[in-house]
Structure 1
Amino acid sequence: MAEPKKCRQCGGTFLYTTNDDLCFSCIQKNELEFQKIKNFLKEHPRSSVALISTTLDISVATIQKFIDEGRLEMVDKIIIDD
């Protein structure tokens, strides 16, 4: 059964039906940002977090979250996508 929950990212209320702490809108935004990073790395492999952040206007914290989740991997302070 769905119950109301506060989104960890945007603070909005959504009906909680899974183990995720994010609303559908934030999940979609995160996936879009991940795809942007992945596409950027195809063109510019082994880019730094700072370069990715600056070029794509995606926060370092968001990139770090993808690293922490294992979706991106750092190699000598450069990023590769899995």
Structure 2
Amino acid sequence: MLHFELVTPEKLLRSEEVHMVVVPGTEGDFGVLEGHAPFMSTVRDGIISIYRSQGGTPETVAIKSGFAEVNAKGLTILAEHAG
């Protein structure tokens, strides 16, 4: 499972184990699974899709710009606003 955190300047909104997250990067959407290579990307206004299980229906969350970081601990999205 992938550890996923969604953070805004106000608070930590999510910290959970998920199957995959699709992120609206400024260079295009990208999916992150467990074991993804480390990288950072800017994030555009859009929708993140959170898949709790493989093949499941995603939960979606609207976000406004920010950054996404993938490292050995998982995926962290730092968004200006979410919800």
Give the TM interval when normalised to the shorter protein. Answer: under 0.3
Structure possessing the higher relative contact order (Cα contacts under 8 Å, 6 or more residues apart): 2
- Structure with the higher helix share, 1 or 2: 1
**TM-score if structure 2 supplies the norm length?**
0.23
Max Rg structure: 1
Higher strand share: 2
Task: Give the TM-score normalised by structure 1.
Answer: 0.23
